[in-house]
């Protein structure tokens, strides 16, 4: 394992498999326990440095660190010196001076975790940076697919939605490719980046053509404000052409699953009856997120305090 987890490409196949296997072991170790805690990171300090609102991801990381017995500090842009204009570098050095061993960072600017990693001695975990990557989301998605389908090799995954602005899509394309899955990206042409052709994934504009062959359909959140920038004409047209509704769900294979990284726009990219169906893994993804993040923190920080 590398020292930091900044992007999915930091993990080769054996590293990625190790994270998933470790998450499975952790999950097994905690199952049925009254006290859901392992002593592994006792005495270590993990800082959650969140420059963007993200209840879900922050709580997931917080819970992961706490279940490993680490001390956790939550540092959010609101109500800290950040709002008074302190630079990212100064904030990072301050946190390190206070003894942080790992910094989990969520930031609106692509690349902020990379820069942070060049300034601090401890490990840095990217919890989502701008429109770049969100590697632990990809890990929990891979974990969920493996748990449901029993494999990743050869699994056909359709990732549908705002690929252009999606850090989830970037991380999933890379990680799923590393793990042997076959990814097809589906979106209107306006929501692909120029240069998507260089990614290890197929590209399609036609959801209905892709669905019958998909083992996994991963729906991405589409923000309504994209509409005002003419990425598509209207929410209704988007939903009609690229939304996953019951009619489309009916063409999926028997074992196919439906995923969404949340938060969902019900009625936009995913219909309520789809989100709540037995194919949906949305709640499992959230639960798996804690195990996978425990595995990441354990592998990056594991062992005795130095």
Partner 1 sequence: MNHLIKGARVLGGDPVDLLVKDGRIAAVGAKLSATGAEVLDAGGLVALPGLVDLHTHLREPGREDAETVETGSRAAALGGFTAVHAMANTDPVADTAGVVEQVWRLGQEAGLVDVVPVGAVTVGLAGERLAELGAMAESAATVRVFSDDGHCVADPALMRRALEYVKAFDGVVAQHAEEPRLTVGAQMHEGDRSAKLGLTGWPAAAEEAIIARDVLLAQHVGARLHICHVSTAGSVEILRWAKARGVDVTAEVTPHHLLLTDACAEGYDPVFKVNPPLRTDADVQALRAGLADGTIDAVATDHAPHAVEDKECEWAQARPGMLGLEQALAIVQDTMVETGLLDWAGVADRMSVRPATIGRLTGHGRPLIPGEPANLVLLDPAARAVVDPAALASRSRNSPYAGRELPGRVVATFLRGVPTVLDGKAQR
| Tokens representing residue 272 in the block | 């309520």
Of 24-32, 114-122, 178-186, 211-219: span binding partner 1 (CB under 8 A): 114-122
Q: Which of 17, 54, 80, 115 binds partner 1 (CB under 8 A)?
A: 115
Is 133 near partner 1 (CB under 8 A)?
A: yes
Taking residues 154 to 193 in sequence order and writing x for each that binds partner 1 by CB under 8 A, - otherwise, the string is -------------x--x----------------------x
Of 19-27, 63-71, 87-95, 141-149: span binding partner 1 (CB under 8 A): 87-95
Do residues 121 and 180 lie in contact, with contact meaning Cβ atoms separated by under 8 Å? no
Of 114 and 241, the one with the shorter C-beta distance to partner 1 is: 114
Is 69 near partner 1 (CB under 8 A)?
A: no
CB of 290 to partner 1, least distance (A): 26
Is 130 near partner 1 (CB under 8 A)?
A: yes
Beta bridge partners of 195: none
* Gap between the Cα atoms of 95 and 285, Å rounded: 30
Alpha helices in the chain (DSSP H): 13-30, 55-67, 88-97, 112-119, 135-149, 167-178, 207-210, 225-228, 235-242, 246-249, 272-275, 282-301
Residue among 64, 115, 110, 74 at smallest CA distance from 95: 74
* Gap between the Cα atoms of 245 and 37, Å rounded: 40
Is 148 near partner 1 (CB under 8 A)?
A: no
Of 31-39, 91-99, 195-203, 207-215: span binding partner 1 (CB under 8 A): 195-203
Is 88 near partner 1 (CB under 8 A)?
A: yes
Peptide bond into 263 cis (omega under 30): yes
Side-chain half-sphere CA neighbours of 33 within 13 A: 11
Do residues 66 and 72 lie in contact, with contact meaning Cβ atoms separated by under 8 Å? yes
Among all residues, which ones are annotated catalytic? 56-57, 84, 106, 134
Of 75-83, 102-110, 219-227, 259-267: span binding partner 1 (CB under 8 A): 102-110
Residues found near partner 1 in the complex (CB under 8 A)? 87-89, 107-112, 114-115, 118, 129-133, 167, 170, 193-199
């Amino acid at each position: 394992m590398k020292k930091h987890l900044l992007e999915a490409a930091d993990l080769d196949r054996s590293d990625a498999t190790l994270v998933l296997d470790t998450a499975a072991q952790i999950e097994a170790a905690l199952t049925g326990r009254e006290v859901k805690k392992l002593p592994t990171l006792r005495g270590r300090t993990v800082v959650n440095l969140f420059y963007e609102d993200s209840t879900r991801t922050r709580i997931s990381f917080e819970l992961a660190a706490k279940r490993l017995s680490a001390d956790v500090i939550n540092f959010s842009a609101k109500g800290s010196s950040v709002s008074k204009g302190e630079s990212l570098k100064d904030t990072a050095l301050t946190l390190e001076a206070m003894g942080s061993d790992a910094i989990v960072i969520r930031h609106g600017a692509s690349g902020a975790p990379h820069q942070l990693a060049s300034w601090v001695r401890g490990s840095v975990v990217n919890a989502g940076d701008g429109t770049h990557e969100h590697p632990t989301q990809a890990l929990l998605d891979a974990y969920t697919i493996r748990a449901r389908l029993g494999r990743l090799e050869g699994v056909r995954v359709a990732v549908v939605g705002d690929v252009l602005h999606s850090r989830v899509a970037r991380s999933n394309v890379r990680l799923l490719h590393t793990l042997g899955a076959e990814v097809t990206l589906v979106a209107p042409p306006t929501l692909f980046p120029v240069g998507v052709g260089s990614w290890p994934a197929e590209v399609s504009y036609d959801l209905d053509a892709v669905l019958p062959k998909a083992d996994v359909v991963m729906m991405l959140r589409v923000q309504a404000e994209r509409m005002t920038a003419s990425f598509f004409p209207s929410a209704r047209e988007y939903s009609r052409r690229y939304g996953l509704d019951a009619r489309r769900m009916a063409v999926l294979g028997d074992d196919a699953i439906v995923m969404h990284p949340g938060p969902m726009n019900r009625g936009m990219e995913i219909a309520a009856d789809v989100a709540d169906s037995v194919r949906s893994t949305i709640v499992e993804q959230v639960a798996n997120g804690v195990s996978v993040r425990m595995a990441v923190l354990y592998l990056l920080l594991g062992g005795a305090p130095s």
